Structure 1
Amino acid sequence: MRNRNHSARPSLGTHFMKLLAIAAFMALCAPWALAEDAATATRLEQRVHDFLVEQARPLGDSVSVAVQRSQARLPACEDPRPFLPRNNQRLYGRVAVGVHCSGDAPRTRYVQADVSVAVEHVVLARDIARGATLTPQDVTLERGLLEKLPRHAVRHIGDATGLVTTRALRAGTPLQDYQLRRQDLVKRGQTVSVIARGDGFQIRREARAMDNGAMGEQVRLRIANGELLQARVIGPKRLSVEF
């Protein structure tokens, strides 16, 4: 009995020493593993950053991107390839990006990023009354961040001048497209000139407009015999019908 107990002690001691060796090895390797994880995360973030800068570049003059680092410990992402999860996705403000990760077990993860885009936009240079036709002197350009502008902000002066305001507007207000309408070239009740065109013929006649209409809009007309037809506005008091 004594001999059997005595022979077991070296076995326990050997096992304990092996455990110490394994723990020491893991402690030595841990910094390298952490360094590799950090490098992988940095590479993924850089890929997402560059991808979003390229995607958002057409929106404005300058683009800045801040990628949100995940706090969860995730498997390494080999050869990260970013993509947009949805068609027609908004590319400014808080943006979600998918990342394909290759390797032995391919997977997809999702990353959040804040995208800021500097743009020029149209601002009223002075107070404007309802129903006024905007001129170049009524508007000016200012710089701002796209993610902080109204969703329907007008970006180019040419998209505002010549249009009519649908409400009174104050100086310094960012102009929005729903606050504007095209100028009516045809008024309801007016006598207008209609050109009817078809294969090898063209007829001009007069009619009475039943609606207001701006350039390119369809307007109802009543001709001399009382018949109603639709015609497209092509100029002041001028419309066209294609057959």
Structure 2
Amino acid sequence: MKWLHLHHLLALGLASAACAAWAQSSAPAAATPLDPALLARVRELAQQAAQAGVAELPGARVQLELGTLDARLRLAPCGQVQPYVPPGQRMWGRARIGLRCAQGAAWNVSLPVTVKVFAPALVLTQSLPAGTALEAAHLELKDVDVAADRSPALMQPEQALGRPLAQAMNAGDTLLRASLRTRQWFAAGDTVRLVAQGAGYSVSGEAQALGHGLEGQAVRLRTESGRIVSAMPVAPRQAEVTP
């Protein structure tokens, strides 16, 4: 009986080993498609896409850092790997380049790419507490990586002067749009000067604010005739309506 039990265990062990060997032989071979020639093509494609994305920043310097594929990937051998920029992908900050097999297999993976964009932007000359209203002495222009954060870096002093900091910041920190508190140009119930502009005309009148006039956010106003309009706050007790 013991001999039969031992024989049964040995049989199971041999079967398991055979299954493991079969699974190993039938699994796709690990294939890293990132040979030097492909890496050069990926870098060139990413560089072109990144340069196109900074056309509005004259003198901006782009620096790329190619990542690596997920080590857990097991890619079947491929005769031709095609790199591409995914639709809607901006080569800015953390991005990706697609790699698809165009000959011999049917896989499609992504390679992480870090895109750094160095351009003149505002940085703080000293450490400041939250709520500080920014002055010219607090600011200077330096070349920084403006793609390092999701929030846009501020590049013109007029974008920051007089604005309070939303949080404490250190000397040398890049000033971002998110670094500043949203300005409130007027409060709900205030009488506001409403300006309507269009091609060849500009008219103005008074209206009552039906909500707080926050910078960058449309607000509803009631005109003297009782009409409700949507306008953009632009200055203290002033809003604009454009066609």
In 1, Cα distance between equivalents of 2:227 and 2:49: 50
Evaluate the alpha carbon distance shift between residue 179 and residue 230 of structure 1 in structure 2; reply closer, same or farther with a 3 A threshold.
farther
Which residue number in structure 1 is paired with residue 212 of structure 2? 212
Look up the SS of the partner of 1:47 in the other structure: helix
Q: Could you say which structure has the larger radius of gyration? A: 1
The offset of 1:61, in angstroms, is 0.8
List aligned pairs for 1:1-243, cutoff 5 A: 41-57=35-51, 58-59=53-54, 60-66=60-66, 68=68, 75-78=77-80, 80-85=81-86, 87-88=88-89, 91-93=92-94, 95-102=96-103, 105=104, 107-110=106-109, 112-120=111-119, 121-128=121-128, 130-145=130-145, 149-157=148-156, 160-162=159-161, 164-165=163-164, 167-172=166-171, 173-194=173-194, 205-214=205-214, 217-221=217-221, 227=226, 229-232=228-231, 233=233, 235-240=235-240
Q: Check conservation: 1:67, 1:111, Cα contact below 8 A.
A: no
Could you say what secondary structure the match of 2:35 adopts?
Answer: helix
Contact 2:86/2:96, CA 8 A, preserved across alignment: no
Structure 1 gap ranges (5+): 1-36
List gaps (5 residues or longer) in structure 2: 1-30, 55-59
* Equivalent residues of 2:42, 2:97 under 8 A apart: no
Task: Among all aligned residue pairs of Structure 1 and Structure 2, give the percentage whose two residues are the same amino acid.
Answer: 16
Instruction: Check whether the contact 1:124–1:139 (CA below 8 A) recurs between aligned residues.
Output: yes
Number of aligned positions between the proteins? 200
Could you tell me how far apart the structure 2 residues matched to 1:194 and 1:214 are? 15
| 43 and 67 in structure 1: CA distance in 2 versus 1, 3 angstrom threshold | farther
1:34-65: CA deviations, max 9, x gaps?
xxx99993322221121122222345513234
Q: Deviations over 1:10-46 (max 9, x none)?
A: xxxxxxxxxxxxxxxxxxxxxxxxxxx9999332222
Q: CA deviation at 1:212?
A: 3.4
More helix by proportion, 1 or 2?
1
Superposed CA RMSD: 4.4
